[in-house]
Amino acid sequence: MQLKFQVQGMDFSRAGQAATKIKKALQLAGMDPATTRKAIIIAYEAEMNIVIHACHGSLTANITPRKVEIIADDEGPGIPDISLAMQEGYSTAPPHIREMGFGAGMGLPNIKKSADELDIRSEVNKGTRLWAVVFNN
Amino acid sequence: MTIKLQAVKEMLNADVLCGDNLLDTEVTCGFGCDLISDSLCFARPGCLLLTGLTNVQIIRLAEMVEARAIVFVRGKRPGEDVIGLAREKNLPLLATDMFLFESCGILYQAGLRSF
Ligand SMILES: Nc1ncnc2c1ncn2[C@@H]1O[C@H](COP(=O)(O)OP(=O)(O)OP(=O)(O)O)[C@@H](O)[C@H]1O
Ligand SMILES: [Mg+2]
């Protein structure tokens, strides 16, 4: 089963909806709760990163009984130094974003912890593509 | 140990912003949070979220982690749009003037734990 959602930069009223729908689909599909939990951390953090840091993009979930694949694709500023961005606490989020509870620099590290496989590619001034897999045990 | 929202309301001297009819709901644990990413990783299903964050994202987060209710601390009050969304999702919202530390301490003393 494939679910795909458009994600708009800075649209905080709808932000998180895509991940919420993916969660419901995973639960309906009867995935293991631990798998769902990990997949949802990835989906939500990746969705919020598009909302906060990019212009627009999409969030896709490919769900099979064996695994969940999450793909976040965006057009935006890109990430100049991915290994720096992966460090806990590194964030370029401005103060008004931090006031909303984001910008701890924990999104990508938490994605890394939750994913069984992860690949992030980014081109400055073009966009970012995140691909992650969680195996369903 | 679990605590009913009615008891939470009394202990924290809290106002009920929505969900007056759901005060019989029991929460199984508590989580104090001012960071969305941490809450997503550590908050458990069935928990009570205590927070100073009042934007709409806290409602989405509560839905995602299957929190049973939210207490806003430090006298913070969310806007009508946020309360409306919570009402739609049958998520009770309470608000207290107490600080986060104080609120968590009182609930901990009453037996509520992180897990
Ligand atoms: N899709 C993206 N496009 C451009 N830059 C990004 C994107 N995702 C992440 N980044 C950059 O990587 C940094 C670290 O991302 P990460 O998700 O770990 O933290 P954050 O989003 O700043 O805060 P948090 O996720 O804790 O709310 C961001 O601050 C931003 O500079
Ligand atoms: Mg992030």
> Which of A45, A90, A91 is the pocket-test mutation for ligand 1 (most atoms within 8 Å of CB)?
A91
How far apart are alpha carbons A2 and B93 in whole angstroms?
35
How far apart are alpha carbons A23 and A10 in whole angstroms?
22
Q: Residues B28-37: pLDDT tens digits?
A: 999 998 999 9
Q: Residues B37-90: pLDDT tens digits?
A: 999 999 999 999 999 999 999 999 999 999 999 999 999 999 999 999 999 999
∠ CA(B77), CA(B78), CA(B84), 5° rounding? 135
Question: Is there an atom of ligand 1 within 6 Å of A25 CB?
Answer: no
Residue among B76, B32, B49, B34 nearest A103 (CA): B34
Q: Please state the domain extents for chain B.
A: 3-109
Q: Please state the domain extents for chain A.
A: 2-135
Class of domain A2-135 (CATH, top level): alpha beta
ipTM: 0.90
How far apart are alpha carbons A101 and A124 in whole angstroms?
26
Here the tokens at position A99 are 């006031």
How far apart are alpha carbons A134 and A67 in whole angstroms?
6
Q: Are A73 and A60 in contact (CB under 8 A)?
A: yes
Architecture of domain B3-109: 3-Layer(aba) Sandwich (3.40)
Q: Residues A81-126: pLDDT tens digits?
A: 999 999 999 999 999 999 999 999 999 999 999 999 999 999 999 9
Taking an 8 Å cut-off on Cβ atoms, the answer to whether A110 and B64 are in contact is: no
